[in-house]
Amino acid sequence: MTLHIDPARLDEATSGPRRYQMLIDGKWTDGEVGLEGERVSPGHGIVVSRYAFGSEADVARAVAAARRAFHRGPWPRMKAADRAAVLLKTADLIDARREEIARLDAIESGKPISQARGEIAGAADIWRYAASLARTLHGESYANLGDDMLGVVLREPVGVVSIITPWNFPFLIVAQKLPFALAAGCTTVVKPSEMTSASTVVLGEILMQAGLPEGVCNIVLGTGPEVGAHMVAHRDVDMVTFTGSTRVGKATVQAAGATLKKVAMELGGKNAQIVFPDADLEAAVDAAVFGAFFNAGECCNAGSRLIIHKAVAKDFLAAFEKRAARVKVGDPLDDATKVGAIITPEHLKKIENAVVDATADGASVALGGAGLTSAAGQYMTPTVVTGVKPDMAIAREEVFGPVLSVLEFERVEEALRLADLTDYGLSAGVWSRDIDTAMTVARSVRTGTVWVNTFMDGYPELPFGGMKQSGIGRELGRNAVEDFSEAKTIQFHRGPRTSWWVED
């Protein structure tokens, strides 16, 4: 099958790509050693962005700026209400530039423009939620330690935070980290993926317009080895928050351990949707298609495993394949597109190889299975792999593409065993009208999130993160600002000393 993508849909085809600089200490700047990068749109095959890339020297400049802003600047000492006002202004400015930001994410990551618009709106909502938490962060007092003693526990910002974000949700994921760090009074250095940096640079413009003081948010562009590694290892960084692959997450934790930094990791997932015979099967089919193919499967939360009861497996899969065949794959800038482009040609090949390896292990391809040819970019057909056994790589390892692996079960215990057979523990879904069944699975499965009769809903009020090798800590939720703080205990003694260590 051949896709016909019109590169002329991009203004860049005639006007040329925009060049983006880094933001360090409130000033737009090139890198000290003159590194450059560019981004070819995965959906159109045209260069859409050029970047000034940074190096270790630029990381040092950015961390120094953040350190000065933390120790001598107004932000950590500002009233919480005033910090909240900046975050609220940022949310308003994000809304005002929603179409522009959505388009940048669509052309750089390959995601559908309609999906990107929803992500930008969701990001603005998270900034508003973080603003509300800025005003509720509080400590504790203990007046029960005796008549002459008062204990106070303060919550202070952790300090300088390195924030490293991935390519699959460029604007949304930085919104799950940065506003909460700022709400706590921290200063930051942000590195977006070198493939999808443009929307984060626009966020820097918005923050300056919203009144964020110089040096509080610094944005350094570049690769992991040239920039990210130095942001993790730098001695003046107090905390690292990272979203990406489990492989890179492990290396990040190890590097951060050299200086015992606080770390927060949101990593990979091999998430199951478990469907019982008594479920609303029509709703479950639609949610399973969504879960498997949303964002072209390039999603840590993707429902990449369908664990289906044998009694309904045949009919369910027939309905699934029929619905999946109607999913429009195509130009990310087409409002009707549901599945856009794959991030790079190399990643497309990795996805295809995972399917080939599965068939070599004895599985079957029931739908799709190969990339779509296009002169303008790289795309992948929604794919269903059946006959999957628990010991196959495709049942255990993250493919990160629009590929669904199907496993069958008969008993609840068997479904739970299949759900937990991977090293990941990010999320799961359970479909059943029976409350006992739903509660048994939800309480037993080892994941950070369980959806019951729905899938991949998200709200700022609810914490997000994984168990096992899916991460460390949680994002969002009412404790999100507290996670960027440290507890400090202060003890006050009143009156004459009563417990002399050395008697006169």
Please, which pLDDT band fits residue 457 given cuts at 50, 70 and 90?
very high
Distance from C-alpha of 147 to C-alpha of 494, rounded to nearest angstrom: 8
pLDDT at residue 16 is higher than 90:
no
> pLDDT tens digits for 218-237?
999 999 999 999 999 999 99
266 is catalytic: yes
Return the DSSP state at 339: B
pLDDT at residue 13 is higher than 70:
no
pLDDT at residue 441 is higher than 90:
yes
Residue 344 burial class via C-beta count within 10 angstroms: exposed 0-12, middle 13-18, buried 19 and up: middle
Return the DSSP state at 7: G
* SS3 of 406-435: EEEECCHHHHHHHHCCCCEECEEEEECCCH
One DSSP character per residue, 45-96 reads -SEEEEEEE--HHHHHHHHHHHHHHHHHSSGGGS-HHHHHHHHHHHHHHHHH
Distance from C-alpha of 25 to C-alpha of 366, rounded to nearest angstrom: 54
Please, which pLDDT band fits residue 498 given cuts at 50, 70 and 90?
confident
b/e per residue, 258-278, with b = 16+ CB within 10 A? eeebbbbbbbbbbbbbbbbbe
> pLDDT tens digits for 264-274?
999 999 999 99
One DSSP character per residue, 274-318 reads EE-TTS-HHHHHHHHHHHHHGGGG--TT---EEEEETTTHHHHHH
> pLDDT tens digits for 98-129?
999 999 999 999 999 999 999 999 999 999 99
pLDDT of residue 226: 97
| Catalytic residue chosen out of the listed positions 56, 108, 266, 482 | 266
Please, which pLDDT band fits residue 8 given cuts at 50, 70 and 90?
low
Longest Cα separation, the chain: 94
Helix (H, G, I), strand (E, B) or coil at 254: helix
pLDDT of residue 185: 98
Residues 6+ apart with CB under 8 A from 499: none
300 is catalytic: yes
Task: Kindly state the average pLDDT of the residues 434-462.
Answer: 97
One DSSP character per residue, 203-250 reads HHHHHHHHTPPTTSEEE--S-IIIIIHHHHH-TT--EEEEES-HHHHH
pLDDT of residue 7: 67
Type of residue found at 198 = A
Task: Kindly state the average pLDDT of the residues 25-38.
Answer: 96
pLDDT of residue 11: 64
For residue 488, list its beta bridge partners: 154
Would you state the structure tokens that stand for residue 381, as one six-digit string?
């057909």
Helix (H, G, I), strand (E, B) or coil at 85: helix
| Catalytic residue chosen out of the listed positions 194, 217, 300, 482 | 300
Residue that the structure tokens 């065949």 belong to:
325
Please, which pLDDT band fits residue 503 given cuts at 50, 70 and 90?
confident
Would you state the structure tokens that stand for residue 112, as one six-digit string?
């559908």
